[in-house]
Structure 1
Amino acid sequence: MFTPEQIAQFSELDYAIYDYVMKHPHEVAYMRIRELAEAVHVSPPTVLRFCKKVGCEGFSEFKTKWKLYLRETKRTAIISSQEALKEFFERTLTADYERTILDAAAAIARADHVIFVGSGSSGILAEYGSRYFSAFQKFSVYIKDPFFPIYGHYFHNCAVIALSVSGETSYTLAQVHRFKENGSTIISITNRKHCTLANISDYNLTYYATAERMGQTDVTTQLPVVYLLERLAKEMYRLLPTQTDRGPSGR
């Protein structure tokens, strides 16, 4: 409701109104402008100027937006972890889905190395994925800098695993596009099938979790992503050549 830019422009009286609104959110939603002014010990015109500073034409519009904000941030029912996993397996346990997992694992096994990309919670899981794959003898790294330069022949036989809940994160899409231009194989894990990231990937694994939000924060479960990363790593490991296959020199 209140942006950092708006708050930075507040006067001392504006801060007093802001403080009262934040401490009495439900009362303010049903107050008249004079009642709020008296509660904060300011004049009604001061309250009106405050409303205009936060993008409202008047106090009525401010109250309407404030009620919508309270409704959006109201605590919602959270899906249990057990239910989320059950939902994931029921939606994805098909022969076609299994084939995609195995085909993606084979592509990773053939690659010289693996690069993970993602941002936000997906970035944290991308970092975990790079560590997990490296433990299974496939050199993997995670690029956290969205402006990291991606050029050269190093990516010609590279598998890129891109993580994104929406599949529309601009930084992730830009990175994936640069990798694709350099000949990398793209494996994406998204929550929706019909998204840009899935469309530009060579292999896409969709987990179809019910979207959840707490206020403005996306809290959609990431348990299916952890499962898919670990499943891919283990399937990939089974396809790697053994030391005997590589010869005495290990090549």
Structure 2
Amino acid sequence: MFTSEMIASFNDLETDIYNYVITHEQEVIYMRIRELAEHTHVSTATILRFCKKVGCEGFSEFKTKLKIELKSRQETVKSGEHTVMEFFERTLSSDQEAVLLEAVELLTSADNVLFVGIGSSGILAEYGARYFSSLGKFSMYIKDFSYPIHNRLQKNSVSIVLSVSGENSFTVKQMNRLKREGSKVISITNNKHCTTAKMSDINLAYYMTEEYYEDTNITTQVPVIYLLETLARKLNQHEQDLRKKAMEGHDE
């Protein structure tokens, strides 16, 4: 409701009104204009000028818009819970297991695992590298496009690329660089039709409704954590099984 341009244009009195509104939103939507004027120590005329500056004809319209925004925030939180449940129901009854096993086979034969991501995906990429390393598959997280990677680390390596949209220019450039050096790519994206997914050798798509709050992508990342941990655990179990078979064959 309040853009950065609007906030930057506020004078001192309007800034006081803004600060009061954002810290008392639930109360303001039920106030009369005189009540808000008293709480903010300004005139009703100043309140009306403030309303016009934020794109409202009057105080009533301002309160209506504020109510709509508060309601949309509550619905966003609720829908997040439902979409996560839908993901798990869909995953448990789908054939994604076959794709996970294919990814495990690719990772098993790799000497190095590199994680790539930026923003919230970067945070999860760092988490993924740590989680894989904790389960015995040493991994690195790359967050800087200019970060030097020795050629021997890229040969016989698998890169796990995380991106919600799959269209981030940093991610695409990094993937192109890694593929050019011979790295195989497993991507985890929100859908399989994006650039990142198409460039990958294997793609794990989780299909969640993308959600935004004040121009920020707040799409839940719970499916990504689930896929990363599941992949790491299956990889660990697979490698243990291979070692066990090797031991049994040696004993014979």
SS in 1 for 2:42: coil
Deviation of the 1:204 alpha carbon = 0.6
Using the alignment, how far apart are the partners of 2:234 and 2:92 within structure 1?
A: 21
Q: Which runs of 5+ in 2 are unaligned?
A: 247-252
Q: Which residue of 2 aligns with 1:190?
A: 189
Q: Please state if 1:46 is matched with 2:46.
A: yes
Using the alignment, how far apart are the partners of 1:157 and 1:6 within structure 2?
A: 52
Deviation of the 1:63 alpha carbon = 4.6
Counterpart selection for 2:81 from 79, 82, 85: 79
CA 1:27–1:243 in 2, change beyond 3 Å: closer, same or farther?
Answer: closer
TM-score (norm 1): 0.71
Deviation of the 1:110 alpha carbon = 2.4
> RMSD value over aligned CA atoms?
3.9
SS in 2 for 1:106: helix
The one-letter amino acid paired with 1:130 is A
Deviation of the 1:30 alpha carbon = 6.5
CA 1:57–1:181 in 2, change beyond 3 Å: closer, same or farther?
Answer: farther
Structure 1 window deviating more from structure 2 (183-192 vs 148-157): it is: 148-157
Structure 1 window deviating more from structure 2 (195-204 vs 7-16): it is: 7-16
Q: Which residue of 2 aligns with 1:140?
A: 139
Between Structure 1 and Structure 2, the one with more helix by share is 2
Q: Which residue of 2 aligns with 1:10?
A: 10
Using the alignment, how far apart are the partners of 2:5 and 2:211 within structure 1?
A: 28
SS in 1 for 2:220: coil
Is contact 1:213–1:220 with CA below 8 Å preserved after alignment?
Answer: no
The one-letter amino acid paired with 1:178 is R
**1:228-239 equivalence runs, <5 A:** 228-237=227-236, 238=238
TM-score (norm 2): 0.71
CA 1:70–1:82 in 2, change beyond 3 Å: closer, same or farther?
Answer: closer
Using the alignment, how far apart are the partners of 2:221 and 2:137 within structure 1?
A: 27
The one-letter amino acid paired with 1:90 is L
Using the alignment, how far apart are the partners of 2:179 and 2:48 within structure 1?
A: 53
Is contact 2:103–2:202 with CA below 8 Å preserved after alignment?
Answer: yes
Q: Which residue of 2 aligns with 1:249?
A: none
Deviation of the 1:15 alpha carbon = 2.2
The one-letter amino acid paired with 1:128 is Y
SS in 2 for 1:42: coil
